[in-house]
């Protein structure tokens, strides 16, 4: 295995070199992931799930080596191939894969009971509270929404106190509201439990919202690996990415919910944004989405416009992404703005520059 330090100086948690061949496809890649959250990004058929299943022990590579937390779990040379239960990695599938005959409580408690008491990180009730499931604990899983099912699947995976959490496109079948909610729950899990995660996705927006580091795959090969802002604009990634769907998914505090015809007030980082009315109550936390291409940059306070928001921010980075420029800005939380190269040149955008973000209120989607 190549000894390569992970990008960003964080200590390595997962190291792998794997090769796996099928009739019409070969995965052949290696990488070093730091502690925390790393996204594996790529289009359908790029090898994301094959890589994740190899790490989990659900399939055996043809050759290679995998270490997690310094522990060897697979080596073709040393003839080591620990079964999934010995690796003790949590796995969340795209469709949850819950036990349909069990209640929410029984699903979450299943793995918890099998975990040695000295190694348990969180009790089922604590996980339910963290993931907003406390009011559903005695309900059958067949009566849950898609988003609720995925949160139960996440809680069940965490109940075994995993050394590593693997997530295989867990948001692919959900609508925007549930996607935003679960992304924010995953961030809370990472912060409070300190569990490292590998998050597989074909969505740049999900990667941007969740993962500080990204590993990009295409055709079974690694094409880029490093801090997410760099990878978003990498030439190999820009060839396979859909920047038109890139959105900022953020957590907001509802200051004013608005009425039937009035606007809401939402605190995001250091800014107070005017958005559409919401059913959330003042003091509630909500998820919001703002398209990267729906934000206008201004060098000063803009003159009167129909846009309800003009908030100060600071430019942090600029990345050329194949015919567009991705501008990473900071207004107490990070956002990415998509502009044309001509606009970036005319504004003479540069790091540490003060800027105003101009955002129409109807460009902000609010999810309770």
- For residue 13, the domain's CATH number is 3.40.50.300
Indicate whether 121 and 53 sit together in one domain.
yes
Indicate whether 229 and 196 sit together in one domain.
yes
Indicate whether 113 and 26 sit together in one domain.
yes
pLDDT surpassing 60 at residue 7: no
The verdict on residue 118 lying in a domain is yes
The verdict on residue 184 lying in a domain is yes
| Mean pLDDT (whole number) for 233-240 | 91
| Mean pLDDT (whole number) for 200-206 | 94
The verdict on residue 196 lying in a domain is yes
Indicate whether 161 and 174 sit together in one domain.
yes
The verdict on residue 2 lying in a domain is no
Average pLDDT, the chain: 91
CATH number at 289 reads 2.40.50.100
Indicate whether 41 and 175 sit together in one domain.
yes
Task: Please give the Cα distance from 254 to 279 (Å, whole number).
Answer: 10
The verdict on residue 1 lying in a domain is no
CB 107 within 8 A of CB 136: no
Q: Out of 211, 244, 277, pick the residue that ends a domain.
A: 244
CB 163 within 8 A of CB 68: yes
Indicate whether 64 and 148 sit together in one domain.
yes
Indicate whether 197 and 77 sit together in one domain.
yes
* Both tokens assigned to 354: 């003060």
Q: What is the DSSP string of 236-303?
A: HHHHH--GGG-EEEEEEEEEE---SSS-EEEEETTEEEEE---SSPTT-EEEEEEEGGGEEEESS---
**Length in residues, the chain:** 368
User: Which among 131, 135, 134 has a CA at the least distance from the CA of 170?
Assistant: 131
pLDDT surpassing 50 at residue 5: no
pLDDT surpassing 50 at residue 82: yes
Indicate whether 183 and 274 sit together in one domain.
no
User: Which among 332, 248, 253, 249 has a CA at the least distance from the CA of 293?
Assistant: 248
User: Which among 30, 157, 36 has a CA at the least distance from the CA of 88?
Assistant: 157
Task: Find tokens 């992404």 and name the residue.
Answer: 321
The verdict on residue 267 lying in a domain is yes
Indicate whether 335 and 273 sit together in one domain.
yes
Reduced DSSP (H G I as helix, E B as strand, rest coil) percent helix, strand, coil of the chain, to 5: 30, 35, 35
Q: Out of 244, 268, 300, pick the residue that ends a domain.
A: 244
The verdict on residue 227 lying in a domain is yes
pLDDT by residue (tens digit) across 306-326?
788 999 999 999 999 988 999
pLDDT surpassing 80 at residue 3: no
The verdict on residue 31 lying in a domain is yes
For the chain, what percent of residues have pLDDT higher than 90?
A: 71
Task: Please give the Cα distance from 10 to 13 (Å, whole number).
Answer: 9
Q: Out of 200, 220, 244, pick the residue that ends a domain.
A: 244
Which DSSP symbol is given to 103?
B
Indicate whether 14 and 71 sit together in one domain.
yes
Give the count of domains, the chain: 2
- Domain holding 349, by residue range, is 247-367
Indicate whether 214 and 158 sit together in one domain.
yes
Distances (CA, A) of 251 to 263, 287, 334, 368: 18, 5, 11, 10
Which DSSP symbol is given to 348?
T
Indicate whether 238 and 272 sit together in one domain.
no
């Amino acid at each position: 295995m190549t000894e390569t330090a992970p990008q960003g100086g964080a200590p390595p948690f997962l190291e792998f070199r794997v090769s796996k061949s099928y009739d019409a496809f070969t995965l052949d890649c290696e990488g070093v992931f730091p502690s925390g959250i790393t996204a594996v990004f790529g289009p359908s058929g790029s090898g994301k799930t094959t890589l994740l299943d190899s790490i989990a022990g659900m399939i055996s590579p043809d050759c290679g080596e995998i270490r997690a937390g310094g522990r060897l779990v697979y080596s073709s040379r040393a003839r080591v191939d620990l079964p999934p239960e010995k690796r003790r990695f949590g796995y969340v599938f795209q469709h949850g894969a819950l036990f349909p005959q069990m209640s929410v409580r029984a699903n979450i408690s299943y793995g918890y009971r099998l975990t040695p008491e000295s190694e348990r990180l969180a009790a089922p009730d604590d996980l339910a509270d963290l993931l907003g499931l406390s009011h559903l604990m005695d309900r059958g899983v067949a009566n849950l929404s898609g988003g609720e099912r995925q949160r139960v699947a996440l809680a069940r995976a965490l109940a075994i106190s995993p050394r590593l959490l693997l997530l295989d496109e867990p948001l692919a079948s959900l609508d925007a509201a549930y996607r935003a909610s679960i992304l924010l729950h995953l961030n809370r899990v990472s912060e409070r439990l300190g569990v490292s995660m590998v998050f597989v996705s074909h969505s740049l927006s999900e990667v941007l919202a969740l993962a500080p580091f990204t590993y990009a795959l295409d055709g079974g090969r690694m094409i880029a690996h490093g801090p997410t802002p760099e990878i978003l604009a990498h030439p190999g990634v820009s060839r396979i990415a859909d920047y038109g769907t890139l959105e900022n998914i953020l957590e907001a505090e509802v200051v004013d919910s608005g009425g039937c015809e009035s606007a809401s007030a939402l605190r995001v980082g250091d800014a107070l944004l005017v958005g559409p009315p919401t059913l959330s109550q003042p003091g509630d936390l909500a998820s919001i989405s703002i398209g990267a291409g729906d934000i206008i940059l201004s060098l000063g306070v803009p003159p009167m416009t129909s846009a309800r928001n003009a908030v100060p921010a600071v430019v942090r980075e600029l990345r050329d992404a194949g015919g567009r420029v991705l501008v990473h800005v900071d207004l107490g939380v990070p956002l990415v703005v998509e502009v044309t190269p001509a606009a970036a040149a005319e504004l003479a955008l540069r790091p540490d520059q003060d800027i105003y973000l101009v955002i129409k209120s109807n460009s902000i989607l609010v999810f309770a």
